[in-house]
Amino acid sequence: MVYLDHAATTAVRPEALAAMTEEFGRLGNASALHGAGRAARRAVEEAREDIAGALGASPNEVVFTAGGTEADNLAVKGLYWARSAAAPRRRRVLVSAVEHHAVLDPAHWLGGRQGAVVEELPVDGRGAVRPEDLRAAIARDPDGVALVSVMWANNEVGTVQPVAELAAVAAEYGVPMHTDAVQAVGALEVDFSAHAGLAALTASAHKIGGPVGAGALVLARGVDPEPVLHGGGQERDVRSGTLAPPLLRGFAEAARLAAAERAEHAGHLARLREELVRTVHKAVPDAVLNGDPEDRLPGNAHFSFPGCEGDALLMLLDAQGIACSTGSACTAGVARPSHVLLAMGADTDTALGSLRFSLGRGSTAADVEALGAAIGPAVERARAARGKRRR
């Protein structure tokens, strides 16, 4: 199989698997006071230190979750509840129009069930939020804003947001800003402490060679969201639930290695991505590369193929042993146009006729060559099939 869907998930690194295997052989609840419990707690806290180091945070700022979706929900719902409880007129939730559904859906749930006023920040044709647009949105009623959430890098088109500038604008008005950095960790330099004004940051283990089922929400000092889960009061009373030392050790090992190898890895991916872009354009000259042509994730190449339906094209490539996606894996199989492309100004046909190719650890030039050999015939067949249906 040629795997070009690393944005959806990545293979567990051998080092992470070894750490998890070792820890799975041990017994102990990290909340227990006896020796076995203290050993489990030690594994958890050492993992917290490694993950904090990889994210440019302090260990006491890291709250463990079961993944990116939970961390996003905790950030959006928790910050809204805490801020609106302190000042009831703080009901505005500002999110970019291209956010992952793990941010958009809880925001709109708050709008439908909790009285929030959800405002989607516009993006330009590259998929980026302009700082001046955020400033204008906050300035309309700064005292009424509960939070801002803008992702670090887009999971579909790969555009990197001006996080530092956006966080500075939010901080100027005293508004906490959350960023979903799930796609950015391991690919870009992610330094939480270097971005003054960031209140919260989401990370996920399985995007960087760690296990599915582990994530983190980094919370700046003094930022205390209301919990979404209640129970044993673990993780500073912010996120109750029994901690999983094996998964956290795997997460920590993957995060440590991702940070250490990031620059070299990103350079390799960027070179391979440029070759992929050239290869696709050679085979399909009218394919359109979406997102920022330069300021993008190094392993992301997102194309629109005029005259094609993305799902049909995906299945034709899959039949050739090439795995890719039409966008977020969380919405796979849902016959609706990409909200990201629509927000960027694309029409419905263009938004439905797109594919994302995402490179990662283990991707090779041979993978790109295989795609180059398959994409042209697949596009021809997809166009022919669509033409027959329309007749």
**Residues 150-174 pLDDT 10s:** 999 999 999 999 999 999 999 999 9
Asked if residue 49 belongs to a domain, the reply is: no
Would 29 be classed as within a structural domain? no
* Domain boundary pick from 242, 277, 310: 242
Q: Residue 285: inside a domain, yes or no? A: yes
> Do residues 220 and 302 both lie within one domain?
no
pTM here? 0.95
Q: Is residue 144 part of a domain?
A: yes
202 with 170, same domain: the answer is yes
Looking at the fold, whether 238 and 89 belong to one and the same domain comes out as yes
d(C-alpha 306, C-alpha 315), whole Å: 17
- Maximum Cα–Cα distance across the chain: 73
> Does residue 113 share a domain with residue 227?
yes
Q: Quick one: 211 and 279 in the same domain?
A: no
Q: Are residues 269 and 234 in the same domain?
A: no
Residues 96 and 229 occupy one common structural domain = yes
List pLDDT tens digits, range 57-113.
Answer: 999 999 999 999 999 999 999 999 999 999 999 999 999 999 999 999 999 999 999
Tell me, yes or no, whether 54 lies in a domain.
no
Domain that holds residue 181: 59-242
Do 238 and 274 lie in one domain? The reply is no
Give residue-wise pLDDT tens across range 177-196.
999 999 999 999 999 999 98
C-alpha span between 148 and 94 (Å, rounded): 5
Note whether 353 and 218 are same-domain residues.
Answer: no
Catalytically active residues are: 330
Domain end: 209, 242, 275, which one?
Answer: 242
pLDDT of residue 81: 98
Q: What are phi and psi of 268, to 5 degrees?
A: -60, -45
- The answer to whether residue 13 is domain-embedded is no
Contact between 262 and 189 under an 8 Å Cβ cutoff? The reply is yes
**What dihedral do alpha carbons 171, 191, 263, 213 form, nearest 10°?**
-110
CATH number for 231? 3.40.640.10
Average pLDDT over residues 238-261: 98
CA distance 209 to 191: 19
**Residue 381's domain is classified under what CATH number?**
3.90.1150.10
Asked whether residue 333 carries a pLDDT value surpassing 60, the answer given is no
Question: Which of 244, 242, 204, 254 lies closest to 23 in space, CA to CA?
Answer: 244
Q: State whether 272 and 317 are in the same domain.
A: yes
**Are 169 and 290 part of one and the same domain?**
no
Helices (H), 284-328: 310-319
291 and 225, same domain (yes or no) = no
Mean pLDDT for the chain? Answer: 96
Number of domains in the chain: 2
